[in-house]
């Protein structure tokens, strides 16, 4: 069933959001949100679409959002002065808002650093954080989120290089998209004031997939880094112990995390 914009507005009116733009179909919610953010969007404004025809993952990889089945939205944050030093943590904030919504449904989600959420080793959600700059400073952050809610949202296997699933597949019943959206936003708003704390960083690190395990991080055209996944640095970089017992930090960028098989 298509999303009902009246129901959307009514459900979300309980949250302290900015404005909401709903599209039955759109290229990419992040593109729309970036343009709006560069203009006059208020903090916590939301772009949401029933379908994306050109949804993006990182590095212009494609994110698949067929109609009527998934959640695809972009939330605009205007960071406060206190938040500015911690902007690299925003991807963790969004990932934890997803995992908390899934835990409330008794699933056991994990975060595949830096930007995916897994359930039992299958990707159920992806996050794409992008920024609007004003000179040297970040003016706005756009948090793009795609969640596979119903079975039909899972892309065909041949387009995937990591296994995927949906909430419906994992739960055994079709959850309500609007409820999942509400919970994500509510969780994010609740967690946001803790962004700078060690408690936040620890929660994020504890939620990582492959913690303590041997992993491989593919780094674009450079040789991959192999090591034991130890946790996170303060800026959200991934901390590994390499084969020489040395601690190395891997930054966000053209990276792909894989278990070492």
| Exposed e or buried b per residue across 142-162, where buried means at least 16 C-beta atoms within 10 angstroms of its C-beta | bbbbbbbbbeebbeeeeeeee
Classify 114 as helix, strand or coil: coil
Residue nearest to ligand ATP according to CB distances in the complex: 57
HSE-CB of 216 using CA atoms within 13 angstroms: 9
* Cβ closest to ligand ATP, residue 41 vs residue 129: 129
Kindly state the tokens that stand for 1.
């069933």
Rule CB under 6 A: choose which of 67, 155, 174, 231 binds ligand ATP: 155
Token duo for residue 166: 């949906």
Residues 65 and 49 sit within 8 Å (Cβ to Cβ)? yes
The Cα 2–Cα 64 span in angstroms is 17
Q: Could you say which DSSP state residue 115 is in? A: T
What's the CA dihedral at 86, 91, 93, 94 to 10 degrees? 150
Pick between residue 44 and residue 111 the one whose CB is nearest to ligand ATP: 111
Q: Is residue 150 a contact point for ligand ATP (CB under 6 A)?
A: no
What are the angstrom distances between the C-alpha of 173 and each of 69, 142, 166, 169?
13, 31, 11, 7
Least distance to ligand ATP from the beta carbon of 58, Å? 4
Nearer to ligand ATP, 126 or 236 (CB): 126
For the bound state, the minimum distance from the C-beta of residue 155 to ligand ATP, rounded and expressed in Å, comes to 5
Site for ligand ATP in 11-70 (CB under 6 A): 57-58, 61-64
User: Closest distance between ligand ATP and the C-beta of residue 60, in Å?
Assistant: 9
Cβ-based nearer residue to ligand ATP, 10 or 61: 61
Q: Which residues pair with 135 in a beta bridge?
A: none
Q: How far is the CB of 97 from ligand ATP (least distance, A)?
A: 16
Asked if 160 interacts with ligand ATP (CB under 6 A), we say yes
Token representation of residue 192: 């946001």
Which of 87, 91, 164, 250 is the binder for ligand ATP (CB under 6 A)? 164
Least distance (Å) from ligand ATP to the CB of residue 12?
A: 23
Which residue, 241 or 258, is less far from ligand ATP as judged by CB? 258
At its nearest, how many Å lie between ligand ATP and the CB of residue 169? 11
Please list every residue from 219 through 258 that binds ligand ATP, using CB under 6 A: 256
CA distance 113 to 217: 10
Per-residue binding string, ligand ATP, 105-144, x by CB under 6 A, is ----------xx------x--x------------------
Phi and psi (nearest 5°) for 191?
-80, -25
Neighbours of 256 (CB within 10 A): 16
The residues of the shown chain that bind ligand ATP, judged by CB under 6 A, are 57-58, 61-64, 115-116, 123, 126, 146, 148, 153, 155, 159-162, 164, 256
């Amino acid at each position: 069933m298509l999303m009902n914009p009246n129901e959307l507005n009514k459900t979300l009116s309980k949250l302290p959001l900015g404005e909401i733009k709903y599209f039955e179909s759109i290229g990419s919610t992040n593109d729309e949100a970036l343009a709006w953010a560069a203009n006059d969007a208020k903090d916590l404004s939301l772009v949401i679409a029933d379908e994306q025809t050109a949804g993006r993952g990182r590095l212009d990889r494609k994110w698949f959002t067929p109609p009527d089945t998934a959640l695809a939205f972009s939330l605009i944050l205007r960071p406060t002065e206190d938040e500015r030093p911690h902007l690299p943590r925003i991807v963790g904030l969004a990932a934890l808002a997803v995992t908390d919504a899934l835990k409330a449904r008794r699933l056991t989600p994990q975060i595949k650093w830096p930007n995916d959420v897994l359930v039992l080793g299958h990707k159920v959600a992806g996050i794409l954080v992008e920024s609007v700059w004003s000179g040297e400073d970040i003016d706005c952050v756009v948090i793009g989120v795609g969640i596979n809610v119903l079975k039909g949202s899972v892309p065909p296997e041949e387009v995937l290089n990591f296994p995927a699933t949906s909430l419906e597949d994992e739960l055994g019943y079709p959850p309500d998209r609007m409820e999942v959206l509400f919970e994500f936003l509510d969780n994010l708003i609740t967690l946001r004031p803790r962004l700078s704390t060690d408690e936040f960083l620890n929660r994020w690190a504890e939620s990582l997939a492959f913690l303590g395990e041997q992993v491989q991080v593919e780094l674009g055209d450079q040789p991959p880094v192999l090591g034991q996944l130890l946790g996170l640095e303060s800026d959200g970089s991934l901390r590994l112990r390499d084969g020489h017992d040395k601690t190395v930090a891997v930054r966000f960028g053209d990276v792909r995390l894989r278990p070492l098989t």
